[in-house]
Amino acid sequence: MLKLFKNEKHILISPSIVIFTTFFLLFLYFIYQISNILTLFFLGFIIMVALQPFVHRLETKLRFPRILAIITTYILVFLSIVGILTFIIPPLVSQLIQFVKTFNLPWLQNGINNFNFSLGDVGTIVQQLGQSVNTIYGVVTSTFSGVFTFLIVLVISLYLMLDRKNLHLRISWFTRNHKHLKTAEEFVDSLEHQLGGWVRGQLILMVTIGVVTYVGLTLLSVPYAAPLALLAASLEILPNLGPTLAAIPSIIIAYFVAGPVMGLVVLVFYTLVQQLENNFLVPKI
């Protein structure tokens, strides 16, 4: 019988490859299943590395016990956040309300119009009540879920902070080799230094740019300075692109409210802010 394939090749797959591939896929599936838990631990770790230098200073400079240094740091951070929010929220809310009223956004107007119903239309009333209940339930559920998640992250960060000096020893669950433990310690120290420095630097940049933008736009009498400053601070998370995106709505608003000259002035202002950031703030931080 004539052979159709003269150069047949046989591929042999060893059992070890099959076993390794199977375990690797199972490992990926396991990581996927606990991804939410890993995210919480990662966020807790970020908080820990961001606050660790302050705790260390309280321990070394003021001779605080570690637990007292941690509690003091958390209280100071909490009071700082409350102070910043107290300063930001009132003008932010009032200017957002003014923005909505000024531009009369169609989708908001349609949402408001949906609440106009006839008292005689019982079916419509019931339907709207049902939708309102679902909406309120969703908002309440999301709020409690967010608060609960935030508390979990804080607890995790607190645990990591308390156990910071022994984190590298957790690898002893897998190996007791002294060299491996030393490598793990160096890795944790390096990660804390690099990631913690980046987080603290980003926070300083965001606060500084937000304050400078708010003061500058207020002095230039540009409307909605608080929301625009908050936008500029938030977009600092995007290097190079963020400041450009933050400048666009400010320039557009200044152009339509006060004319092309003011639009050009705002453009120059944002350019100066970006130069200040790139040439002074970033190298120092």
Instruction: Give the global pTM.
Output: 0.63
Indicate the residue among 139, 162, 185 that finishes a domain: 162
Q: Indicate the number of domains in the chain.
A: 2
Token representation of residue 150: 């935030």
Question: Would you place residue 90 in the very low, low, confident or very high pLDDT band (cuts 50, 70, 90)?
Answer: confident
Give yes or no for residue 266 having a pLDDT over 90: yes
Angle formed at CA 188 by CA 183 and CA 189, multiple of 5 degrees: 95
In a domain, 200, yes or no: yes
Which positions ≥6 away from 153 have C-beta within 8 Å?
A: 40, 43, 44, 47
Examine the domain organization and report whether 77 and 198 are in the same domain: no
**pLDDT (0 to 100) of residue 264:** 93
Examine the domain organization and report whether 144 and 237 are in the same domain: no
Which positions ≥6 away from 68 have C-beta within 8 Å?
A: 58
Examine the domain organization and report whether 184 and 245 are in the same domain: yes
Q: Indicate left, alpha or beta for 200 from its phi (over 0: left) and psi (-120 to 50: alpha).
A: alpha
User: Packing angle between helix 178-219 and helix 225-234, nearest 10 degrees?
Assistant: 160
Examine the domain organization and report whether 57 and 135 are in the same domain: yes
In a domain, 210, yes or no: yes
Give whole-number Cα distances, 33 to 26, 37, 39, 208, in Å.
10, 9, 12, 39
In a domain, 245, yes or no: yes
In a domain, 283, yes or no: yes
Give yes or no for residue 108 having a pLDDT over 50: no
Give yes or no for residue 258 having a pLDDT over 70: yes
Examine the domain organization and report whether 151 and 179 are in the same domain: no
Give me the percent of the chain exceeding a pLDDT of 90: 11
Examine the domain organization and report whether 145 and 203 are in the same domain: no
Q: Of the given ranges (60-64, 169-173, 231-235), which has the lowest mean pLDDT?
A: 169-173
Examine the domain organization and report whether 151 and 36 are in the same domain: yes
Examine the domain organization and report whether 46 and 150 are in the same domain: yes
In a domain, 41, yes or no: yes
Examine the domain organization and report whether 198 and 158 are in the same domain: no
Could you tell me how far CA 204 lies from the centroid of its own chain?
A: 14
In a domain, 105, yes or no: no
In a domain, 104, yes or no: no
Most confident of the ranges 61-65, 105-109, 171-175: 61-65
Examine the domain organization and report whether 198 and 139 are in the same domain: no
Q: What is the domain extent for residue 130?
A: 32-98+122-162
Residues 38-71 pLDDT 10s: 888 888 888 888 888 888 888 888 888 888 988 8
Question: Would you place residue 268 in the very low, low, confident or very high pLDDT band (cuts 50, 70, 90)?
Answer: very high
Indicate the residue among 109, 133, 162 that finishes a domain: 162
Examine the domain organization and report whether 192 and 138 are in the same domain: no
Whether 232 and 243 have beta carbons less than 8 Å apart is answered as yes
Rounded-to-integer distance, Cα 269 and Cα 239, Å: 18
Query: Does 22 or 130 have the greater pLDDT score?
Result: 22
In a domain, 167, yes or no: no
Examine the domain organization and report whether 235 and 158 are in the same domain: no
Residues 178-232 pLDDT 10s: 776 677 777 777 777 777 778 888 888 988 999 999 999 999 988 888 889 989 9
